[in-house]
Structure 1
Amino acid sequence: MKFAYFTHVWGRPGITPGQRYAELWREIRDADRLGLDYAFSVEHHCTPQESWMSSPAVFCTGAALHTERIRVGPMGWVPPLRHPMHLVEEVATLDHLLGGRLEVGLASGVSPEPFLPFGADFANRHELTREAVELLRTALDSDGAIDFEGPVHQVRDVTLSFPSLQRPHPPLWVPTTNRNTLRYLSSVGAHTGSTMIVPRASMGLVYRHYLDWWREHGHATDPDIGYWTLVHVAPTDVEAEARAAAHITETFTKTLQYGSVRRSGEQHAPASKLSTPDILAGSGDFGFLLDHNLVFVGSPRTVTERIRAAAAEGHFNTVLGEFAFGGLEERHRAESLELFAREVIPALRDHSPYAPLPAYTPGDEEQVAARLQALGYLD
């Protein structure tokens, strides 16, 4: 398994943006020193109540100046908000700045609100994101003039000042659980992932297909499949839960505003029967989150077992852990990350949910579609 330090760079009352960014660089330094594989952030705009990270380039540049070995990237750039050639040049520059440690996450966007200030095309966001993937692959693998014909943008006889340091291009990530998109990503060798609001049983179904397709294309290594959630580790379960509970529910209900959705099923339904509305509606109930293993909170041993069980169900091999949330004190965040790195990561490093695979026969599209609908899967 692999492990990422994921941060939305959430603001909070009583702290300035400068102070929050100073904290961020300390967080990323800790993740680098403690041996995590990745440091990921987001691109969010005009969200004073939530993320204060509007520039992936700022995140990557700051991380480059404060780290030595960890791989760094956004999760991700939002291609529909810019001309894709801006993205190509930014990726090439940041890859050199990071000494070949850049990971390129691309996100098409989930709601129209962030698109409004830019007059951007929300309706065609998926097409624009795929176009950006194709232009990145074409432009960064070229040693001369670029010619590119996309569905929206065309590039004629353009030569980059320099290509990326990693050739043919830095690793690509496009988080999704859409089957058609996953089939495409498997063909181009792009990684993927999802979040705790998607039922893991649904994730497991589609990601097993994705892995099969990936292997059919003959890539040298298996893909990274990420899973995002909040993480807090303390010496004991009691201490971890007491520290984290209020900050977790505040993050989900007030910062992310998940709790405004009405539950569609029974509160005590097994995790395999949950829908996305169930998860959103239950996000303000810490007991619900623990009972359904939707956050990884506890002693090192408990968190290890929580991750192992979730990975088997959701078929992911990369934990995208958010350690700084709510009003959690920085010293508790630091202790949590230290325990995670010293005790949880070594226990899981050689574990893979990919092998052995459970008996599974891909190809029955109608059966899979019916199962996803029954589980409340939201595309």
Structure 2
Amino acid sequence: MEFGILFTSHPNPAEEPYPHRAVHARTTDEVIEAERLGYDTAWIAEHHFATSYGIMPDCFAYMAYLAAKTSRIKIGAAVITLPLYDPIRVVENTSFVDILSDGRVRLGVGSGYRPYEFEGLGRDFDNRRDIVEESIGLMFDAWHRHRWDHKGKYYKGTVKEPYEMLPHPVQMPHPPLYMAGGTDRSIGYSGRNGFGLMLSTLPSVETLAAQTALYKRELATASAERRKNPAAGEIDIARWVYIADTDAQARAETEEAIVRHISHFGGSGTGGYLGSVSEKGAAIKYDDLASTLLHGSAETVIACLREMQARTGMTSLLLHYPPYYGREKTMKSIRLFAERVIPAFRPPARRAAAE
């Protein structure tokens, strides 16, 4: 199993007061520490306009910056909100950052779930899934054929000889591509088109097992071209993670902050896949989150993670955490996870290489 960390560039007002510029230096420090500790991927989440959520308007600019700050860790977008982009610019920018990082880029795409982001950029929220599906076809044309003649409902454009899509990425025909899913439509589409699947922090293990089963069935129907995606068949599941010496200590150090943070997803600012799959209702309590959290001692978390892996076939865990624990506790938790949990899921040779 691989292990990545999902960074939302979400400010902690107690340490990063408004207008929260300091969040980016802190997030960068966490990425650099993740590389040192042997994590596989640093995943960057795009978000716009919120004063109480993530501040990351341009994943490509930040991934290029991180490429120069790191040497081994893979750098992924998890995810860019595809309806807010021109799909050809996504292809160009992904390929360019793949070159700058010497082939370390991973790209996750999604339809988006925060209406205010679409309103702020003047984009169509209601038809976002249709827009994604048209975008994907155009992106595959650009990566596989380097030319296109597209006249669709949402996009049009032509590139013919002697012109072509440049630059070509290091990872051919394209970097690993993932799709965030939370509905049967998006999960089925992801499988049929050979994407790796990214699943939310919020659903129960039972829901995740049903979602991954659907994905695997649909993946079996993907065309040979779509299965050239290096991420085809990969299942990345995000989970809230916190490691302490005991389960009681983990609860004491996180209860107020994690409940406050997860309650945010049931608010009016979210809709669509994240806003509709929390299964927790509005009045969330810590005890309601047993199927969502990987909090506790290393032994507790290893056992829960093994069960999740067996039931879902997951190939990667994306560690996630709110900013409200504070810098010291956050850094301690990701260090303890690397030291006490990751070795249980890696063969000895790979553990030695990471160390």
Equivalent position of 1:375 in the other structure: none
The range that moved more, 197-206 or 331-340, is 197-206
In structure 2, relative to structure 1, the CA distance for the partners of 1:159 and 1:278 (3 Å cut) is: closer
SS in 2 for 1:110: coil
SS in 1 for 2:175: coil
Partner Cα separation in structure 1 for residue 184 and residue 317 of structure 2 = 21
Offset, 1:4 = 1.2
Equivalent residues in 2 for 1:169-318 (5 A)?
169-215=174-220, 217=222, 219=227, 223-253=233-263, 256-258=264-266, 276=277, 278-283=279-284, 285-289=285-289, 292-318=290-316
Matched, 1:339 2:340: no
- The RMSD of aligned alpha carbons is 2.5
Q: TM-score, normalised by structure 2?
A: 0.84
Offset, 1:5 = 0.5
Partner Cα separation in structure 2 for residue 281 and residue 305 of structure 1 = 29
CA-to-partner distance for each residue in 1:22-70, whole Å, 9 max, x for gaps? 1111110111111212111211111011111121123312321222111
In structure 2, relative to structure 1, the CA distance for the partners of 1:205 and 1:65 (3 Å cut) is: same
The answer as to whether partners of 2:194 and 2:232 remain within 8 angstroms in 1 is no
In structure 2, relative to structure 1, the CA distance for the partners of 1:327 and 1:180 (3 Å cut) is: closer
Partner Cα separation in structure 2 for residue 175 and residue 208 of structure 1 = 15
Partner Cα separation in structure 1 for residue 254 and residue 115 of structure 2 = 32
Offset, 1:112 = 2.1
Q: Any unmatched runs of 5+ in structure 2? A: 269-275, 348-355
In structure 2, relative to structure 1, the CA distance for the partners of 1:105 and 1:326 (3 Å cut) is: same
Give the residue type in structure 2 aligned to 1:155: G
In structure 2, relative to structure 1, the CA distance for the partners of 1:104 and 1:29 (3 Å cut) is: same
Partner Cα separation in structure 2 for residue 33 and residue 315 of structure 1 = 27
The answer as to whether partners of 2:82 and 2:112 remain within 8 angstroms in 1 is no
Determine which of 26, 30, 53 is the counterpart of 1:27.
30
In structure 2, relative to structure 1, the CA distance for the partners of 1:216 and 1:115 (3 Å cut) is: closer
The answer as to whether partners of 2:196 and 2:232 remain within 8 angstroms in 1 is no
The answer as to whether partners of 2:43 and 2:75 remain within 8 angstroms in 1 is yes
The answer as to whether partners of 1:137 and 1:168 remain within 8 angstroms in 2 is no
The answer as to whether partners of 1:231 and 1:322 remain within 8 angstroms in 2 is yes
Q: Any unmatched runs of 5+ in structure 1? A: 261-274, 351-379
The answer as to whether partners of 1:248 and 1:326 remain within 8 angstroms in 2 is no
SS in 1 for 2:149: strand
Determine which of 138, 147, 156 is the counterpart of 2:158.
156
The answer as to whether partners of 2:182 and 2:200 remain within 8 angstroms in 1 is no
Offset, 1:209 = 2.7
Offset, 1:215 = 4.1
The answer as to whether partners of 1:100 and 1:166 remain within 8 angstroms in 2 is yes
The range that moved more, 165-174 or 195-204, is 195-204
* Moved beyond 6 Å, runs of 4+: none
Aligned residues: 330
The structure whose residues are more often strand, as a share, is 2
CA-to-partner distance for each residue in 1:136-168, whole Å, 9 max, x for gaps? 22112335x433344421221252342222111
Q: Percent identity?
A: 25
In structure 2, relative to structure 1, the CA distance for the partners of 1:123 and 1:117 (3 Å cut) is: same
Partner Cα separation in structure 2 for residue 146 and residue 252 of structure 1 = 43
Partner Cα separation in structure 2 for residue 43 and residue 276 of structure 1 = 20
Q: TM-score, normalised by structure 1?
A: 0.79
The answer as to whether partners of 1:251 and 1:326 remain within 8 angstroms in 2 is no
Matched, 1:56 2:59: yes
Offset, 1:182 = 3.1
SS in 1 for 2:5: strand
Give the residue type in structure 1 aligned to 2:157: V
Partner Cα separation in structure 2 for residue 277 and residue 174 of structure 1 = 19
SS in 1 for 2:325: coil
